[in-house]
Structures are given as structure tokens and as C-alpha cells.
A and B are shown apart, each in its own frame.
Chain A
């Protein structure tokens, strides 16, 4: 059974039909990437999975249990964590408080403390700045915090929405390294990226989305070789 299964979902913003039948699956222990141009519907797909948007049609299953229709906080409790697009750090909360909010849905104190140690080991920078306000962090640090915060939920599936956006090349490298590392330690990841080249390097499989529809799906290796992907998303002639 797939860890996460999205089956033919249609989502709307008012009358705007943003997702026109998206289907995808993420298996346990995989990194799956969803690539596509700006405005294709990647963020909308994540919003629908996390319950911020309810699909008008279709189903979403987490380990076989339907989660579409649940309010977002219950979806988080069932194990879907997200580092949203634009990081969305709580600027008036300290780094530590941001991380505590990530674990808000849990009450297993000992395990939360272990995960906090894990996040601090992963991003030592966050530990140094633990009592600093989130709003005072640099872009790279905010991205680390957004990922750390999502990890504090100890999610079964971690969804990352353009984690490399706006970061300097060194930081992009570091973020992808972290993604690889997390996955090695067993985290299942759904990765959204505009940086298709990087995403297809770390992912095992990928989906290509265009104007609210999946137009291509294959192993990352095959997608890297596909002419369409190379032209449209890898910037090759």
C-alpha cells in the first residue's frame, strides 16, 4: 500500500479550476518530486493534501485511510508535515518556539525532546539562534527552520514546497544534502521544486505538472533523459 495516495483530485479557488484531476502516489521511504512551471498547481496540490483546501472531487489516502475532508490540524496529527512555500516562519516567535509549534499536535514529551536534538544536530545554526526571533533569521536559516519545524511533527510524509527558492547556490546544495540525509534515515518525502535538475537528482520518481494536470510521470532517471523535461525544465536546447 502506498504511504500517500492522491487520486484524481480537483481543487478550486472560487471559480478557478486549479487542479484538474491530479493523481500521484508516494511509497514509504521514497523521495518523489513534483516539478512544474510557476502557476502549474504544485502548491495547490500540497494545500489540498494538507487540508487547507478541500478537493471538490477525488480522494486522498494516507496509508489507506482517507484524509480528504479532514481539517488541517487533524491531517497533521495523522502524520503529514509540511514546510510551506515561502517558509512561513512565525517572525514574532523565537526559533525554539517555532520548533515547539511544529510539535504542537504531539504530547509524547520524551520523543519531542529527541526530535529537537535531532533537528539541532541537523541544523546546528538553529541551536545557536534558538532564542532569536524567527523574523531576524536569514533566508537560508529560515528554510532550515521551516524544515526543522516540519520535522518536529515527526511526520510519516514530509512535504517540502520549493525549499531551494531564493537561496544562494551553496545553501541550495546544503538543503538538498539534508533532504538526501533525511531520506536515508527513513523519512518519506514529497518534494516540490522549480529546480528540476536538483530535484531529479535526489528523487527516485517524479511527476510533471502543467496547468493543473499531470502530464508525465516516470522514474527520476527516465525523466532526466526525457526530451520534454530537458527542454522545458532543465533548460537544455
Chain B
């Protein structure tokens, strides 16, 4: 009895109560919403499809956080700006191609060009970031590169603001992508198909690369033990650069998908999706590649159906406006109750 009370401190108790209350709220809210039956199956499916599309984008960005963390044990907080740089730059091309009608006539080629430009720009930013901001600090205490990352994040935001201006720019509407596939109660826009399929392809490709290729195996070896990896003849610096390249390219692709879905781009467009993707990475267990994919999907779906499912039944006004609050509550809860994430990260615990 005495040992039990000694182990329980006040913070734990309060945290547990908060956690339990939130869980209760979610359960009661969901039950009330479903009981009221205000929403049709079709509406729920719409939300799920939207959530999967959004989650795919989060997953792509989250991979950048998780890959870099896996190799450098560092959160690259400037990754949100890597995500912004590509689509913000590619906007000018997209806009020109949209206005000239090229994009509607040659959609495939047009999109390919936009993706190529965005991915290239994001990749270059990621490479420069590693080279200039992180590499000189490789052996500094862990807090130092973290602070540098935040500084680099602001630098990049205002650099691109200076370059392209402070205004919101609007990606062209692509009529073809607004078509809808209907299967029973399930409605999927072509755009959503594009987002989900493109993300899935990239993630499958990445997984094969990491599991099968020589470089992928070396990445896993470096993630586990840099010194020993060096003794194998692996060039650690090169593997680190490759990691940033992959993260940058995925973020650049995610950026275009995001811009096609939400239309608007500007210099701070990376901020919210960046934190969301970081949340997704933490959810899945930072450093864990499949975890980032699962975490992204999970967060996208929760964010999409959560407000309606959890809050509508409780008569919360305008629940959709609380989607970010839900996402970040989730982040805080995960950090408190399960910091190793849903899938956990075996390596981090061993190394920490």
C-alpha cells in the first residue's frame, strides 16, 4: 500500500484524470452524434475519403521528419519550410500553364512538370539546410541543432516571402480533377484519387527502397549505429544527404498535392501542416517509417471525422473549426501517455 502511494505522484493522477475525461468526452460525443443520426452514411464516407487524402499528405511530410530523426536523432523543424518552398515556387509555373490552357489540355504532362519543379526545389532547400545549418553542428549538444532548426525555419519563411511576396497565391482549378467516381454511397473526386494514389505509390516505393536497396540497407545501418556503419565503409555524410533528399522530394510532392487540394499557397503555408505531420510522426513513433505512414493516415482521418463525430453530438457550435484543436490535443496526449508512439520506436529507446 505504501509503495503504491509513493509511486503515484500528483502529476500522474492529474494526467490520468485529464486523459480519462477526454476519452469519456470522445465516447459520449460519438455516441450522441451517432444516436442523433443527423448524418447519412454518404456524409460519413465523404469525411473518411477526405481524411484519407489529407492523411496521405501528412504521411508524406511525416516521413521527412521521421527519416531525419532516425538518422540524426534530431527534429528538423524547418521541414515545414521544405514543404512550402516547392509548391510555392511551382505556383508560378502552374499559374502560367493554367492560364494558357496547357494544363487542361495536357494534364498529365503539366502535373508532371509541376511535381518535378516542386520536388526539385524542396530537395535543394533540404540539401542546403543540412549542409549549412545542421552539418556543422553534428557533434554539438542536441538542443543546439534544434534551436538552429527553428531559426532556419523562420529564415526560410521570410526568404520566400521576400522572393515571392507576402500574398496568398491561388493554384489553378483543374476541371478534370473535379469529376467524381460514385460507388454506391462512396463518392471520390478524381483529385482525391490522385492524392491517395500518388502518396501510396511514393510510400510503397520508399518502403521497397529502404528494405531492398543497398543504400536503403545502409540507411538502416546508419540509423542503428553510425560508428559501426562507418566501419562497414559506409559514407555517413552521404547517407545523411540522401536522407534529406528523400525527405525533401517527398515534401515537395506532398506540397503540390496539398496545393491542389486546398488551392492556396504562401510563405507560411507549411506551418500548420508541418506541425500536423510532426504530430503524425510522433503518433507513429518518431524514427519509425511505417509508423509515419500509419500516423499520418490516422491523424488525417481523425481530423476529418473527429469534429463531427466527437463534438456535433455534444452540440458544440461549428465543430469543424476545432479540427486543429483535436489534432493538437492528440499530439499532447500521445506525448504524455505514449511518447514512443503507436508503433513504438525500438531503436530510440536503445540509443537514448
Q: Which residues of B contact A90 (CB under 8 A)?
A: 220-221, 224-225, 228-229
Give the complex CA separation of A153 and B233 in angstroms: 8
Q: A84 and B233 in contact (CB under 8 A), knowing A101-B217, A101-B221, A104-B214? A: no
A77 pairs with B221, CB closer than 8 A: no
For chain A, residues 73 to 92, give those with C-beta under 8 angstroms from any C-beta of chain B.
73, 76-77, 82, 84, 88, 90-92
CB-based contact A73/B347 at 8 Å: no
Contacts A92-B347, A93-B217, A97-B217 given; does A104 touch B224 at CB 8 Å:
no
The chain B residue sitting closest to A51, CB to CB, is: B230
8 Å CB contact of B221 from A71, A82, A84, A93: A93
Q: Is the interface of B mostly helix, strand, loop or mixed?
A: helix
Query: A92: shortest Cβ distance to chain B, in Å?
Result: 6
**Residues in A whose Cβ lies below 8 Å from that of B224:** 90-93
Partner of B228, one of A77, A88, A153: A88
B254-289 vs A, Cβ < 8 Å mask (1 yes, 0 no): 000000000000000000000000000000000000
Q: Does B342 contact A (CB under 8 A)?
A: no
A52 contacts B by Cβ under 8 Å: yes
Q: Are B221 and A50 in contact (CB under 8 A)?
A: no
Partner of B214, one of A91, A100, A102, A153: A100
* Residue in B closest to A47 when the chains form the complex, CB atoms: B227
Residues of B within 8 Å of A71, CB to CB, are 230, 235
Interface size class of B (residues with CB under 8 A): 10 to 19
B14 interface residue per 8 A CB criterion? no
Q: Is A42 an interface residue (CB 8 A)?
A: no
A71 to B229, CA, bound (A): 12
CB distance from B351 to the nearest CB of A (A): 11
Which residues of chain B are near A84, meaning CB under 8 Å?
A: 227-228, 231
**Does any Cβ of B come within 8 Å of A105's Cβ?**
yes
Render B229-264 as a binary contact track against A, CB cut-off 8 A, 1 for contact: 111111110000000000000000000000000000
Q: Determine which residue in A52, A73, A149, A153 has the highest number of CB atoms from chain B within 10 A of its CB, and name it.
A: A73
Measured CB to CB, the closest approach of chain B to A111, in angstroms, equals 15
Partner of A93, one of B220, B230, B236: B220
Q: Nearest chain-B residue to A106 (Cβ)?
A: B233
Name A's B-contacting residues (CB within 8 A): 50-52, 71-73, 76-77, 82, 84, 88, 90-93, 97, 100-102, 104-106, 149, 153
